[in-house]
Structure 1
Amino acid sequence: MKEIKAIINAYDAKSPETKAALATVVRVEGSSYRRTGARMLIMDNGTWVGGISGGCLEGDALKRARLAISQAKPTLITYDTTQDDAYQIGVGLGCNGVIDVLISPIDADAPKVVELLRSCLTANRQTHVLLTVTQASDEVDGLSTGDMFRYNGPDSLAQLADETAIASATEKIERYIQKGKSAPVEVLFADGRVVELFVEVMPPIPHVVLLGQQYDVYPLVRILNELGWQSTVVANPQKVTQALFGAANALVAPADFDTISVDGQTAFVLMAHDFKTDKANLPRALATDAPFVGVLGPRVRTERMLSELAEEGTPIAETDRMHAPIGLDIGATSPEEIALSIVAEIRAVLSGRSGSFLRLRQAPIHERD
């Protein structure tokens, strides 16, 4: 979402006479620095925002975008970094992947793609599903390469006007929604026609709720801002500095804890540095549906909390959602390093990963179909 926000801001800031195109990674086969859904906004004046690779494909995409803009026609480009071809962009990079990039000129009079992306930024926390036509037969009325529309169920596919195609598309789209994964799909019509769609599943950005007001909250909020995540600080407003008001997305008084929105991308971090406060907050955080509840401090401190809560009639059942001590074991000592270890563990848990060394991972870094 951070990249989309930067693209929207750049589009809004460009001069009216400047033409633009949007490059989107719509398929990845094998290894690639960026995955499906990576984007860059390319202007005809040679500037761009975002990225589709680690910097190796952007220059060629710029030239291709200028051509697409001049022809007012979307184009699908395939970059193959697996072949030993001196004329292939990306050779020698060692990525060993095939990347499809859709480059679509943006209609200045009706920038539908921009507005659809903007709506994903401004809507309440929810999973957005966007469908982009990457290839369409000329015989399919009403669908053209580059078209983008929102998916809200089978009724969103009425324009396919073919029961077989709607059923085929719905089954595949719903499967990727369940996985929380973006991917290309092929839609088959009853008469043999084919439309290829890029299914983009965009869950809400991670939301980290920080229960504390000490100085080590600040580096954590700064890292969350750099990532483009959402941060909420639960603290007495009279005990925090004005700088924290401006840095965090929201500041909530402890009495208003129940007003915090919680979903499958929410993580709680208990870091009050006050035993009684953290002990009171632990059962409140675990009573929510948040998949991650972390407690700062040594294990013995949390064990004491659990023991006292049980004695007081509030036993805490064992759960994988609780992470205490919080953070990955990276040898962190400073507040900044501790913040890094905390955010890394949250990212790992929300991604369903262990947070171990990649060199020990037997499977590819990214899941493949």
Structure 2
Amino acid sequence: MERLQEIISTILTDDQPTVLATIVHVDGSAYRKEGAWMLLKEDDTRLGVISGGCLESDLHNRAQGLFNTGKTDVFRYDLSAEDDLGWGRGAGCNGVVTVMVRAIDATFRKALTFLNDQLQAKQPVYYMQSMKDFNMYSFISRSGAKFGEVNDETRPELDTATPFQNIAGQVTVCDETVYRQVVWPKPNLYIIGAGADARPLARVAGNVGYAVHLLDWRESLCNELYFPTAESFQLGDLEKLIGNIPFSPLDSVIVMTHDFQQDIKLVQSLCSFQLLYLGVLGSKKRMKRLYGGEVPDWIHSPIGLSIGADGPEEIAVSIVAELIAVRRGKMT
């Protein structure tokens, strides 16, 4: 999912012929699961991966016959045999991977434009694709906005779905096989405090797919020079800044101002929002003083997984690992 919106944006801004590969079914184990996307362009560039390198070359060759055709095809790769040299040296993944490969035409570009608009509005979108008639597909947002003609009353309730849960795969609807996927918006990470230790954190988080936003009162630190991959910068009184942000349950926030008095006010304000992740830099003792008592389990402090990290770079890795674990539902 980490490059999905980048793939969509590339399709919508690049007019050259492109092919979209999507894993629609996995039987057994595989490097990527259902819902993984990869873009193949006519100039031989690729975006995203659907395997550890086993399938990309073959899909690239198959894409050559699909560019500019508007056609869709499905390919099944059996990677289960360790002595099967069909993919080079024997993949040994013990899985069978089914990939749908679609040449992007004008109609599907319109569908992706709709999808992109909903994702930009922080709306998760339910994607449904007939596996019998590839021209039959629909995108339906949580608010009920829709593109396409396929109806599915069995679609999951997006209001109650666990944020960023991987909902993807094939199901049977009215005796027909249908591929379904929930496409989640790009996760936002708000870093409050633009000190030197925030720089590797912003970089690592951006590399794994977060839209990183910096908030600080110091223009000399909170800028593109130190945070070249950040999507936005907000300068000024921090309490006022966070009060103007429409936080959602899909958003993550990390407080790292190194200012105790300021952190007290920020934590009090942020606790009024429903967030996916709230982390505060510092020790447990410091956090108890900030919070004024026993700290709730849903506030992460100290932040980061306990991996013995030392220094800004390693600590950044531990923090992003914790962000991923929370987003994947591996910890609260």
TM range, smaller chain: 0.7 to 0.9
2:253 corresponds in structure 1 to: 268
1:343 corresponds in structure 2 to: 320
Equivalent position SS for 1:170: coil
1:127 corresponds in structure 2 to: 124
Residue 140 (structure 2) pairs with residue 151 (structure 1): yes
Equivalent position SS for 1:352: coil
Identify if the C-alpha distance between structure 1 residues 2 and 210 changes in structure 2 by more than 3 Å, giving closer, same or farther: same
**Conservation of the 8 A alpha-carbon contact between 1:81 and 1:90:** no
**Conservation of the 8 A alpha-carbon contact between 1:176 and 1:182:** no
**Conservation of the 8 A alpha-carbon contact between 1:106 and 1:113:** no
1-structure distance, mates of 2:2, 2:27: 25
Equivalent position SS for 1:26: strand
Residue 71 (structure 2) pairs with residue 73 (structure 1): yes
**Conservation of the 8 A alpha-carbon contact between 2:202 and 2:227:** no
Give the residue type in structure 2 aligned to 1:127. Answer: P
Alpha-carbon displacement from aligned partner over 1:313-357 (angstroms, at most 9, x marks no partner): xxx6642211111111111111111111111112112222149xx
1-structure distance, mates of 2:55, 2:202: 33
Say which of 31, 42, 45 aligns to 2:40: 42
Q: How does the TM-score come out when normalised to structure 2?
A: 0.84
**Conservation of the 8 A alpha-carbon contact between 2:25 and 2:97:** yes
1:100 corresponds in structure 2 to: 98
Unaligned stretches of 5+ residues in structure 1? 137-143, 161-165, 310-315, 356-369
**Conservation of the 8 A alpha-carbon contact between 1:176 and 1:201:** no
Alpha-carbon displacement from aligned partner over 1:256-286 (angstroms, at most 9, x marks no partner): 2211221222222121112111122111111
Give the residue type in structure 2 aligned to 1:178. Answer: A
Identify if the C-alpha distance between structure 1 residues 342 and 72 changes in structure 2 by more than 3 Å, giving closer, same or farther: closer
1-structure distance, mates of 2:135, 2:307: 44
2-structure distance, mates of 1:12, 1:207: 22
1-structure distance, mates of 2:199, 2:147: 46
**Conservation of the 8 A alpha-carbon contact between 1:262 and 1:290:** yes
2-structure distance, mates of 1:129, 1:287: 29
Give the residue type in structure 2 aligned to 1:65. Answer: A
Alpha-carbon displacement from aligned partner over 1:209-236 (angstroms, at most 9, x marks no partner): 2222321111111112222212222211
Shift of 1:58: 0.7
**Conservation of the 8 A alpha-carbon contact between 1:291 and 1:321:** no
Q: Give aligned pairs, total.
A: 325
1:202 corresponds in structure 2 to: 183
Equivalent position SS for 1:220: helix
Give the residue type in structure 2 aligned to 1:170. Answer: E
Residue 231 (structure 2) pairs with residue 231 (structure 1): no
Question: Which one is further off, 210-219 or 172-181?
Answer: 172-181
1:359 corresponds in structure 2 to: none
Question: Which one is further off, 261-270 or 175-184?
Answer: 175-184
Identify if the C-alpha distance between structure 1 residues 128 and 91 changes in structure 2 by more than 3 Å, giving closer, same or farther: farther
Give the residue type in structure 1 aligned to 2:129. Answer: T
**Conservation of the 8 A alpha-carbon contact between 1:80 and 1:89:** no
2-structure distance, mates of 1:131, 1:70: 23
Shift of 1:77: 0.9
1:327 corresponds in structure 2 to: 304
1-structure distance, mates of 2:147, 2:172: 11
Residue identity (%): 29
Equivalent position SS for 1:184: strand
Q: Which of the two has greater helix per residue?
A: 1
Shift of 1:158: 9.0
1-structure distance, mates of 2:5, 2:147: 27
Unaligned stretches of 5+ residues in structure 2? none
Give the residue type in structure 2 aligned to 1:300. Answer: K
**Conservation of the 8 A alpha-carbon contact between 1:80 and 1:90:** no
Question: Which one is further off, 268-277 or 202-211?
Answer: 202-211
2-structure distance, mates of 1:3, 1:158: 24
1-structure distance, mates of 2:179, 2:88: 23
Residue 232 (structure 2) pairs with residue 250 (structure 1): yes
2-structure distance, mates of 1:257, 1:53: 40
**Conservation of the 8 A alpha-carbon contact between 1:79 and 1:90:** no
Q: How does the TM-score come out when normalised to structure 1?
A: 0.76
1:170-209 matches, within 5 Å, as 170-174=153-157, 178=161, 180-189=165-174, 194-209=175-190
Alpha-carbon displacement from aligned partner over 1:286-310 (angstroms, at most 9, x marks no partner): 121113221212222222223xx3x
**Conservation of the 8 A alpha-carbon contact between 2:55 and 2:87:** yes
The root-mean-square deviation of aligned C-alpha atoms, in Å, is 3.2
Identify if the C-alpha distance between structure 1 residues 285 and 77 changes in structure 2 by more than 3 Å, giving closer, same or farther: same
2:196 corresponds in structure 1 to: 215
**Conservation of the 8 A alpha-carbon contact between 1:233 and 1:251:** yes
Question: Which one is further off, 289-298 or 108-117?
Answer: 108-117
Q: Which has the larger radius of gyration?
A: 1
